Structures are given as structure tokens and as C-alpha cells.
């Protein structure tokens, strides 16, 4: 069964709510714009509230919720621009994380895996193809399913972005969100600068909307 047409999809260009049925009736090109407005309001705009600074202080002290929702945002936008994979559920997340910082795409050295295996012997067969893999398995999964880090821990040291240690990683949640926001804006800017219907990012974006509508 398709999504009921009366379900709210997001705002239109005037900020008024539009429904799934409204978006189904839009031309393909306009559906992409509708998706951007939806993500701006319901995903990015709401998470931004957790990272706001006013008069030099955080408006809301929420490093853990921000970390969880950054992982949700990474996976969501990965699904939008890369698409899902039936064979590898982490693929969209890792694709997006690698764009956030190219260093995350690097494979951890053998010493890192050895130390991680000593800490968590039940994970001895876990593959570490990249640091993004580590974040997916030991941060995204454990945060969402148990609200704790396992092999990736938060730091509020403003001088740090992320860094490897003795078989685990540190991640600054505020950097993580800011870095995601930069890539999010870059991806949609790429769409604006290349209106070609054969643009791979545009095609994936339309496929995502199609999956949402039907």
C-alpha cells in the first residue's frame, strides 16, 4: 500500500504544509526542490537547534542527542544521494561519512584493529575497511540501539575534530554536525549547478523521493 496522500510531506516555497498527494502531482524537477525544503525544515533545521551558540555558550547542552541525530542525518542524506544497498546496509552511511572527511575513508592500521580486538574479543572478525566503518559499527549502531558509544567516544575539546586512539576513536559531536552541514550544502549546490537530468546525484535524489511517495 502506498503512503496515504493526506500525510504532510513538508513545506512549499511559501512555508505552508504540502501533502504527499501534492508532491506526487509535481513534475520531477520540482519534487527535488520539495525534498530539499522538507530536509531543511524537518531534519537539518531541527537538529541545528542542538548546536546553536548564543553569547559564547551552547543554547542547549546536548552532545549525545546531537551525535545520535548527526548519525541519522548522515544516513538519510547518504540514502538521498547514494541510494540504498541490499547487500551492505552501511554503504549509504559510509559514502556520506567519507565525504565529511576524506581521512575517514582510510583503512585503520593493523595496530588499531589489534587493539580493538583485545578490547572487544567478540568483534575479532569485524572488518575495518575504513574509519567510517568503525563509526558505523561502534558509534552509529550502538548509539541508536543503546545510547552509548562502543569504540567511538565523544570529546568536547574544541581543538579536536576526530582522532584515533588505542583501538577506538574520539569524535567531537559539534564538529561532526558542522562538517555534515557543509557537505549537505555542497551536495545540493552541486544539484543547482548541474541541472542535467542525467546527473547521478539528481537521479538518486529522484529515486529517493519516489521511494518515499510510493
pLDDT digits (tens, 9 = 90+) for 151-168: 999 999 988 999 999 999
Asked if 128 and 113 count as a contact pair (C-beta separation under 8 A), the reply is: yes
The model's pLDDT over 27-64, given as tens digits with 9 standing for 90+, comes to 998 999 999 999 999 999 999 999 999 998 999 999 99
Report whether pLDDT(125) > 80: no
Beta bridge partners of residue 163, listed in sequence order = 170
Q: How many CB atoms lie within 10 A of CB 190?
A: 13
Picking from 156, 166, 45, the residue whose alpha carbon sits closest to that of residue 109 is: 166
The model's pLDDT over 77-112, given as tens digits with 9 standing for 90+, comes to 999 999 988 888 899 999 999 999 999 999 999 999
Amino acid at each position: 500500500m502506498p503512503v496515504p496522500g493526506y500525510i504532510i510531506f513538508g513545506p512549499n516555497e511559501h512555508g505552508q504544509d504540502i501533502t504527499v498527494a501534492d508532491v506526487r502531482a509535481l513534475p520531477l524537477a520540482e519534487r527535488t526542490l520539495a525534498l530539499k525544503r522538507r530536509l531543511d525544515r524537518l531534519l537539518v533545521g531541527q537538529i541545528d537547534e542542538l548546536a546553536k551558540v548564543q553569547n559564547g555558550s551552547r543554547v542547549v547542552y546536548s552532545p549525545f542527542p546531537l551525535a545520535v541525530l548527526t548519525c541519522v542525518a548522515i544516513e538519510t542524506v547518504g540514502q538521498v544521494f547514494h541510494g540504498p544497498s541490499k547487500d551492505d546496509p552501511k554503504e549509504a552511511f559510509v559514502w556520506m561519512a567519507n565525504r565529511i572527511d576524506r581521512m575517514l575513508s582510510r583503512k585503520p592500521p593493523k595496530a588499531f584493529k589489534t587493539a580493538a580486538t583485545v578490547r572487544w574479543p567478540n568483534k575479532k572478525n569485524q572488518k575495518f575497511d575504513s574509519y567510517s566503518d568503525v563509526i558505523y559499527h561502534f558509534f552509529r549502531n550502538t548509539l541508536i540501539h543503546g545510547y552509548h558509544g562502543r569504540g567511538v567516544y565523544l570529546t568536547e575539546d574544541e581543538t579536536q575534530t576526530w582522532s584515533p586512539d588505542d583501538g577506538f576513536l574520539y569524535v567531537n559531536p559539534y564538529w561532526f554536525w558542522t562538517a555534515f552541514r557543509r557537505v549537505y550544502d555542497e551536495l545540493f549546490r552541486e544539484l543547482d549547478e548541474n541541472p542535467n537530468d542525467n546527473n547521478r546525484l539528481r537521479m538518486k535524489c529522484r529515486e529517493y523521493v519516489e521511494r518515499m511517495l510510493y
